[in-house]
Amino acid sequence: MNEAEGIDDLTLQAFLDGELDRTRAAEVEAWLNAQPAHKARLREWRAHDQVLRAVFDPILTEPAPQNIRAAAHMAASRFFAAPRQMLLRAIAASLLLAFGATAGWLARGHFAVDAGRGGLTATIATRAMDAHMVYAADLRHPIEVPATEHEHLNAWLSRRVQQHIAAPDLASAGFSLLGGRLLADGGKPAALFMYEGPNGKRLTVLVAQNIGHRVADPKLSTRDDLKAMSWTEGPLMVAVTSDLGSDRLRGIGEIVSTSLKGKG
Amino acid sequence: MRDKLVGEIPYLRRFARGLARDRSRADDLVQECVERALTREHLYDPSRNLRTWLFTILRNLYLNKIRDERARPVVSEAKFDDLLAAPPGGSQFDVVLARQVLTAMEALSVEHREVLLLVAVEGLSYRETAEIIGTPTGTVMSRLARAREQLRIQIEGGPRSQIRRVK
């Protein structure tokens, strides 16, 4: 319709929304003066926008309902009223220097979550899911040491976690090892093994020290699409995380458990 | 982030109302959004605008919710009615026009309604809107134009608008 001037509906709309630079806006304005029909249409758009604002703006000054204020307030007080967690954050911050910025960033996530509730496996599951979200989504650098350096990977992580650990072989479940990385888990070194399955689906196995040799049976935790299977394995705490179905994940959990028992 | 979050609640409530229409459903969404933002604070990039981050969370929660509802026998569609129950005072405000605009908004699909809310009501740029809904800017522009034209045609009614429609 207005090809000659290059002024179409989208340009007209961008003019209305203040998305044009000054020169272009002036051109549109001049053009509109000779186009009463388009000018009228623009006026209607503007009028409808104004009505929408008039209807929705009063919501801004309404007092927020109690449940929303409670949600914001509760989380804030949980955060500030926990000096122990502040201390853990300080430890995490110092580990940051040793383990690099990404591990520290992850550690922040650990302490944003209330680690005191929900039992042992619930907390490791939370941390495992945090780790999975951060690292499994990283297409370029999901790992520090690749599976091709298998021996070095196992030796290095075993030394840091102070337990004999070997990356479980999940080939029978269709997952191949990409490699692993060291994590700061609750202020202690932990190992994260990353696997890739069909269609590039990622699965992570978090292995941490089980301080005090507590005992916890396998437990399934979910967060949106993610599921974590977590349990204790003698001196180790283990969590397997992926967005697989719970039966599949449980099956893989059994393979991991058998494998860690054999080597640990 | 936590300090600033409280200041974002009014904007979250306004956007949620535009999406969910019903007041209590909207406020439930905001509550969930606040909780989720706090547990995922580590995923927030401080160089990013807090509001667009929160709006992204809120929108995803809403889309998940309507997807779940579609899987079950559907409840009747929520209306904007209560927004008109107490129209803002002043002679400038045309209640009849407001009712027409809201009725037309109810008829829009979610993807058209959300861009209109983000640009026209929330005053976000095309780029910010594109970031929230996860599409290129061009998609935002075409959906927005479509939404505005649908609104205009429904309010104006009649063939006059049809004739004048460009494209």
Q: pLDDT tens digit string along A158-196?
A: 888 888 899 999 999 999 999 998 887 767 788 999 999
Q: Using one digit for the tens of pLDDT, what is the confidence trace for A83-105?
A: 444 445 544 544 444 444 443 33
Report which of A208, A158, A151, A210 is spatially closest to residue A177, judged by C-alpha positions. Answer: A151
Instruction: Locate A190 and state its tokens.
Output: 């932990």
Mean pLDDT over all residues of chain B? 84
- How much is the pLDDT for A92? 52
CA distance B111 to A91: 46
- How much is the pLDDT for A79? 39
**How distant, in Å, are the alpha carbons of A85, A112, A118 from that of A115?**
9, 8, 8
A262 to chain B, minimum CA–CA distance in Å?
36
**Thinking of the domain A119-261, which architecture would CATH place it in?**
2-Layer Sandwich (3.30)
User: What residue has token string 């004999």?
Assistant: A164
User: Which member of B31, B116, B120 has the closest CB to residue A67?
Assistant: B31
Report which of A175, A192, A168 is spatially closest to residue A255, judged by C-alpha positions. Answer: A168
CA distance A38 to A183: 61
Whether A51 and B141 lie within 8 Å, measured CB to CB = no
The residue ranges of every structural domain in chain A are: 3-60, 66-106, 119-261
Q: What is the 3-state secondary structure (H, E, C) of B7-51?
A: HHHHHHHHHHHHHHCCHHHHHHHHHHHHHHHHHCHHHCCCCCCHH
Q: Using one digit for the tens of pLDDT, what is the confidence trace for B76-125?
A: 566 787 777 655 554 445 778 888 899 999 999 999 999 999 999 999 99
Contact B12, B30 (CB under 8 A): yes
B-proximal residues of A, 17-36, CB under 8 Å: 17, 19
- How much is the pLDDT for A199? 79
Contact A40, B163 (CB under 8 A): no
